[in-house]
C-alpha cells in the first residue's frame, strides 16, 4: 500500500467552531478542500490519539462521498481501526456514545445540524475527542492554524469501501468495521430508561403518539426504538427514511417545517 503525498495551496477559511466546519456543498467539493480540513484535524492530534476513529453522519448530500475521502486519509495517517455507521448513518449523540463505549480516540461526524441539505445546500464536518464531546477550542484553534499553512495531505489509492453491508475488511494495517450504530444507541436508551415499562403504556390502548423525523438522521433511531422496542405503529412515524436533501424540506424541528405532524395532531381522535 503506497501512501501518496498530495501538494496543495493552503485555504484560509477553515476555522471550525464547536459545531465544526460548515460550508456549502460546492465549497467542500472544491479540489482538496475537504482533504485539507481532514488532514488538519489529524495533524492537530498527537500520534497516540490517531489509532481508532468512528465516522458517520446525518445522511445528507455528500455524506457518502466524504466518508470515502476520510477513510483514505485516515489510513494514510496511520489509523489502525476505523468504524463506520452502516449506510454512513451516525447521529451526534450516537457518535458520542460509540466513542465512549468502545474507548476510541475520537470520531468524525458529518452534519450541518438543521441546515438544509442537497447539492446547492450545506455540509459540515466536526471532530469529537475521546470523551465523546466536541473538540475544545484549543484543538479547533490548532486545526485552523494548521489549515492555513498546510502544504500537502496524505492519502492512499483504494476502492471505495462498501458501507451498506455489516462487515469487517482489512486495508493494509487498518481494520475497517461497518457497524450497526442504530442498535448500539438503542441499547443505551434501553439501559437508561425502562423500555419494558414504557412498552406497557404503548400496549395499554390509552396512549398514542406521532413522530416526524423530517427525512433526517433521527428516522432510523425512531423506528428501532419506538416501533421495534416500544411497539408503536409504523403509522405513528412520519418521514423516517433519511434523504440526501431531507425530502426538499428543512430538518428544523419547529412548526414551520413540520406541517404534516401538525395536521396529524389536529385530527379528531
pLDDT at 94: 96
Q: What is the pLDDT of residues 160-195, one digit of tens each?
A: 999 999 999 999 999 999 999 899 999 999 999 999
Q: With helix as H, strand as E and coil as C, how does the chain read?
A: CCEEEEECCCCCCCCCECCEEEEEHHHHCCCCHHHHHHHHHHHCCCHHHCCEEEEEECCCCCHHHHHHHHHHHHHHCCCCEEEEEEEEECCHHHHHHHHHHCCCCEEEEECCCCCCCCCCCEEEEEEECCCCCECCHHHHHHHHHHHCCCCEEEEECCCCCCCCCCEEEEECCEEEEEECHHHHHHHHHHHHCCHHHHHHHHHCCCCCCCEECCCCCHHHHHHHHHHHHCCCCHHHEECCCCCCCHHHCCCCCCHHHCHHHHHHHCCCC
Question: Could you list the active site residues?
Answer: 113
pLDDT at 256: 73
Cell of 209: 403518539
pTM above 0.75, yes or no: yes
pLDDT at 269: 62
| pLDDT cut 70: percent of the chain above it | 99
Q: How confident is the model at residue 63 (pLDDT cuts 50, 70, 90)?
A: very high
Amino acid at each position: 500500500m503506497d501512501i501518496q503525498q498530495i501538494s496543495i495551496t493552503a485555504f484560509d477559511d477553515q476555522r471550525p467552531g464547536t459545531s465544526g466546519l460548515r460550508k456549502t456543498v460546492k465549497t467542500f467539493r472544491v479540489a482538496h478542500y475537504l482533504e485539507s480540513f481532514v488532514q488538519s484535524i489529524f495533524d492537530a492530534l498527537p500520534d497516540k490519539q490517531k489509532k481508532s476513529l468512528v465516522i458517520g453522519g446525518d445522511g445528507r448530500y455528500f455524506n457518502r462521498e466524504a466518508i470515502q475521502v476520510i477513510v483514505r486519509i485516515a489510513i494514510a495517517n496511520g489509523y489502525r481501526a476505523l468504524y463506520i455507521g452502516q449506510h454512513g448513518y451516525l447521529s451526534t449523540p450516537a457518535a458520542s456514545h460509540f466513542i465512549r463505549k468502545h474507548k476510541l480516540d475520537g470520531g468524525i461526524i458529518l452534519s450541518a445540524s438543521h441546515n438544509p441539505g442537497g447539492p446547492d445546500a450545506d455540509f459540515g464536518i466536526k471532530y469529537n475527542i475521546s470523551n465523546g464531546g466536541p473538540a475544545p477550542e484549543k484543538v479547533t484553534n490548532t486545526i485552523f492554524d494548521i489549515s492555513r499553512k498546510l502544504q500537502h495531505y496524505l492519502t492512499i489509492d483504494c476502492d471505495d469501501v462498501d458501507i451498506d453491508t455489516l462487515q469487517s475488511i482489512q486495508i493494509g494495517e487498518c481494520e475497517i468495521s461497518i457497524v450497526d450504530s442504530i442498535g448500539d444507541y438503542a441499547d443505551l436508551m434501553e439501559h437508561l430508561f425502562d423500555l419494558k415499562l414504557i412498552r406497557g403504556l404503548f400496549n395499554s390502548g390509552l396512549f398514542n403518539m406521532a413522530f416526524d423525523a423530517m427525512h433526517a438522521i433521527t428516522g432510523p433511531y425512531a423506528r428501532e426504538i419506538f416501533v421495534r422496542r416500544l411497539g408503536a405503529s409504523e403509522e405513528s412515524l412520519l418521514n423516517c427514511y433519511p434523504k440526501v436533501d431531507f425530502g426538499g424540506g428543512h430538518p428544523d424541528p419547529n412548526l414551520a417545517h413540520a406541517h404534516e405532524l401538525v395536521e396529524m395532531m389536529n385530527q379528531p381522535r
